[in-house]
């Protein structure tokens, strides 16, 4: 029989994978991997803010992730620097600021390793409820936005011509990313969050024919990576968060070997 903590970890991890899969598809289609990394790195600043203001960690991470998203959009409108340069500045600055602020708070004992790489085996029943309820909210919003998101992914001009608002859609999508990153932080850590969103989606792209199929397959592959990583962690006594990402990588490499060509969904949604 599996221990309770291991069962909770699997339930929580699968809930996160189901949520992250469809969101990761849009990250892959929109070529926003570096943006996802930037938001994930900013989570450490959110953790520092939460400790400083004595608020819930998830709320602190969500606030900072939203702030970084809006700051990026404002800086892009002003021009002067390319998007990747702005992302580099925001990514490393927020990560460094978070570390410095935490270092100044000598009265707080912080396990940085658990925040950087996650501790999914320590999730509680409350965490599981937060993951599944938050995940349901994210997936519901994503289903509502599915058509506008696909249209604006292909072309902002097409979306506008069809009476949609690409700017509003982009803002809501960033808010969804911020929420998933805030939820996922405790499970796989600041440095591995984006990997769990991107790798299953990239794998699914080789297996799916339509965007909808890709979203479903990405969720399934993410759940398999969670289960495989956790059982591998249990067997080989390795860190759980990195083990999940390694399991996702193995699935990706297998898909590359089995399906050498690029998936049809890339041609349809990119």
Domains of the chain and CATH, by start: 4-269 (1.10.3470.10)
Q: Give the pLDDT band of residue 266 (cuts 50, 70, 90).
A: very low
Query: CA 207 to CA 69: how far, in whole Å?
Result: 31
Query: CA 83 to CA 85: how far, in whole Å?
Result: 5
Q: Give the pLDDT band of residue 16 (cuts 50, 70, 90).
A: very high
Is the pLDDT confidence value at 265 over 60? no
Query: Mind listing the pLDDT tens digit for each residue in 68-89?
Result: 988 888 887 887 778 888 888 9
Q: Give the pLDDT band of residue 261 (cuts 50, 70, 90).
A: low
Considering the chain, what is the average pLDDT of its residues?
Answer: 88
Is the pLDDT confidence value at 114 over 90? no
The pLDDT of residue 2: 61
The pLDDT of residue 246: 95
How confident is the model over 187-191, as a mean pLDDT?
Answer: 82
How confident is the model over 166-175, as a mean pLDDT?
Answer: 88
Query: Taking the complete model, does pTM exceed 0.75, yes or no?
Result: yes
Query: CA 179 to CA 39: how far, in whole Å?
Result: 10
Is the pLDDT confidence value at 270 over 50? no
How confident is the model over 31-54, as a mean pLDDT?
Answer: 89
Is the pLDDT confidence value at 162 over 90? no
Q: How many CA atoms lie within 13 A of 39 on its CB side?
A: 33
Query: CA 162 to CA 138: how far, in whole Å?
Result: 24
Contacts 24+ apart (CB under 8 A), 2-9: 5/121, 5/122, 6/121, 6/230, 6/234, 8/123, 8/124, 8/125, 8/127, 8/128, 9/120, 9/121, 9/123, 9/230, 9/240
The angle formed by the CA atoms of residues 44, 23 and 20, to the nearest 5 degrees, is 65
Is the pLDDT confidence value at 203 over 60? yes
How confident is the model over 166-193, as a mean pLDDT?
Answer: 87
Query: Mind listing the pLDDT tens digit for each residue in 101-111?
Result: 988 988 888 78
Q: Give the pLDDT band of residue 268 (cuts 50, 70, 90).
A: very low
């Amino acid at each position: 029989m599996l221990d309770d903590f291991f069962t909770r970890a699997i339930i929580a991890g699968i809930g996160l994978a189901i949520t992250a899969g469809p969101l990761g598809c849009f990250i892959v289609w929109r070529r926003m991997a570096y943006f996802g990394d930037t938001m994930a790195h900013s989570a450490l600043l959110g953790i520092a803010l939460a400790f400083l203001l004595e608020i819930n960690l998830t709320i602190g991470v969500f606030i900072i992730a939203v702030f970084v998203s809006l700051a990026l959009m404002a800086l892009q409108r002003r021009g002067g620097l390319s998007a990747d340069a702005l992302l580099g500045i925001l990514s490393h600055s927020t990560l460094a600021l978070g570390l410095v602020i935490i270092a100044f708070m000598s009265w707080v004992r912080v396990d940085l390793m658990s925040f950087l790489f996650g501790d999914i085996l320590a999730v509680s029943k409350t965490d599981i409820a937060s993951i599944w309820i938050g995940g349901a909210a994210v997936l519901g919003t994503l289903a509502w936005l599915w058509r506008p998101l696909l249209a604006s992914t292909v072309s902002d001009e097409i979306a506008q011509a069809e009476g949609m608002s690409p700017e509003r859609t982009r803002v809501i999508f960033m808010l969804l990313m911020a929420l998933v990153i805030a939820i996922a932080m405790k499970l796989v850590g600041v440095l591995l969050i984006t990997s769990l969103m991107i790798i299953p989606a990239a794998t699914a792209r080789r297996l799916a024919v339509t965007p909808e199929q890709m979203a479903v397959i990405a969720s399934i592959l993410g759940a398999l990576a969670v289960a495989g990583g956790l059982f591998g962690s249990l067997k080989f006594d390795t860190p759980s968060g990195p083990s999940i990402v390694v399991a996702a990588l193995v699935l990706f490499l297998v898909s590359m070997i089995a399906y050498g060509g690029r998936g049809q969904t890339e041609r349809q949604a990119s």
